[in-house]
Structure 1
Amino acid sequence: MPTVTWARVDPARRAAVVEAAEAEFGAHGFSRGSLNVIARRAGVAKGSLFQYFADKRDLYAFIADVGSQRVRSYMEARIRELDPSRPFFEFLTDLLDDWVAYFADHPRERALHAAASFEVDTDARISVRSVIHRHYLEVLRPLVRDAQARGDLRADADTDALLSLLLLIFPHLALAPYVRGMDPILGLDEPTPEQPALAVRRLVAVLSAAFSPAKQPMKKEVT
């Protein structure tokens, strides 16, 4: 996270550093992004970056946090509008539809998510994905917990397994419709306009079949 010096930097300069870092990391990945390019685009000395952040990993984590917070703020507003008290898998379908649409309309956030997902350097990957996973889980865990409390999930459902699957599905749907080569199964490599919505419904159907309570058989009336 930033040093105390960062808080004293002019807001316009801070914004310039963030914008330059997001552009560079989104284009080249975190570990392969050039600090020289970031400094030049932001109009600061490269040494200044190390006054603002303890090291490269701190810069990676901060940029991942800034981008994740933008996505989270938008999706939390949509969650309130979609009414999370509805039946969980019905709500999840609509949420994933909005999720796919958000990344279609926000290429900068999509590029940063791709950079985090495809990062090859272990230290950089740990730095950025731990931040992104924190945001995911702080939003998704209460939704899953409340769904189980309402009876939308089996009482014995493994909610950690459900959360783990959601941590795979959300990033996949954020990127696969727009990044060739990610999805050879659900038709997202070369999607038609309706294909992402169809993929969402197939994935949610599998989750629902695995985690929904068993339907009680109808009792026959005795005549």
Structure 2
Amino acid sequence: MPTVTWSRLGGERRAAVVAAAEAEFAAHGFSAGSLNVIARRAGVAKGSLFQYFADKRDLYAYITDVGSQRVRFYMEARIRELDPTRPFFDFLTDLLDVWVAYFAEHPRDRALHAAASFEVDTDARVSVRAVVHRHYLEVLRPLVDDARSRGDLRGDADVDALLSLLLMLLPHLALAPYVRGMDPVLGLDDLSSEQPALVVRRYVAVLSAAFGCVCASLPAITTIEGEKHEQDTF
């Protein structure tokens, strides 16, 4: 957590430190990221960084939190527009499309997300993933709980397992189109305009089959062309 000195710092100086740290950690991650470079770009003495944060890992966790809040603010606004009271798996399809598009259009946040996901230092990885997962779960858990209350999920659905799968799926969808080899099966690293949307629909179909309400038939899955295909009944 930032120190009291950080909270007393002027807004422009704080913004300069954040911008410099985001650029350095996005480019090099925690282990290779340089506090000397951050201090120089921010226009502060290196020693000042230790007046603002306990150590390098503390600064890294804070920068991850800043970036996560930025993504969360955007996604929460889109969630309201998409109407989360719709049938859950239709809503989830559109939400994942928005998620993929966001990281396609925001390379800085994509780089920070990659740095947090691929960090090799165990303590730093635990720190930053805890930050990212907290934001994920604070948004996702109410959506999943509401879906279960409405009957969109099976009564015996393992909600924690669904949330765990979503925690794995979201970073994969954000990064796999830009990291060769992350998705050797579904071709998500094919940057054609349609491929990520096709993969999203295949993932949602699997989640719907595993967790969706058992009724006369499973929900129709809408393809990117707007056609509906009914899945087989149980």
Deviation of 1:178 after TM superposition, in Å, equals 1.7
Partner of 1:121: 121
The Cα of 1:179 is off from its aligned counterpart by 1.8
Q: Percent identity of the aligned residues? A: 82
Amino acid at match of 1:98: V
* Matching of residue 93 in structure 1 with residue 77 in structure 2: no
Paired residue type of 1:65: D
Q: Could you tell me the TM-score, scaled by structure 2's length?
A: 0.91
Output the CA distance in 1 between the equivalents of 2:76 and 2:115: 23
SS at match of 2:177: coil
In structure 2, what is the equivalent of residue 5 of structure 1?
5
- The match for 1:156 is 156
CA displacement 1:30-69 (0-9 Å, x = unmatched): 1220000000000000000000001112111100000000
Amino acid at match of 1:111: A
Counterpart residue type for residue 165 of structure 1: L
TM-score after normalising by structure 1? 0.96
Residue in 2 that maps onto 1:62 = 62
1:188 deviates by: 1.3
**What residue identity is the alignment partner of 1:2?**
P
Name the count of aligned residue pairs.
217
Checking the alignment, whether the CA contact within 8 Å between 1:180 and 1:190 is kept in structure 2 is no
The two structures, once aligned, show a CA RMSD in angstroms of 0.9
Q: Following the alignment from structure 1 to structure 2, what is the Cα–Cα distance between the partners of residues 190 and 94?
A: 20
Matching of residues 36-47 of structure 1 within 5 Å:
36-47=36-47
Aligned residue type for 2:138:
E
Are the equivalent residues in 2 in contact too, given 1:20–1:38 (CA < 8 A)?
yes
The equivalent residue for 1:112 is 112
Q: Which amino acid aligns with 2:106?
A: H
1:167 to 2:167 alignment: yes
Paired with 1:31 and 1:83, the residues of 2 have a C-alpha distance of: 41
Residue aligning to 1:221: none
Q: Structure 2: how far apart are the matches of 1:77 and 1:26?
A: 25
Q: Which runs of 5+ in 2 are unaligned?
A: 218-234
Deviation at 1:191, TM superposition (A): 2.8
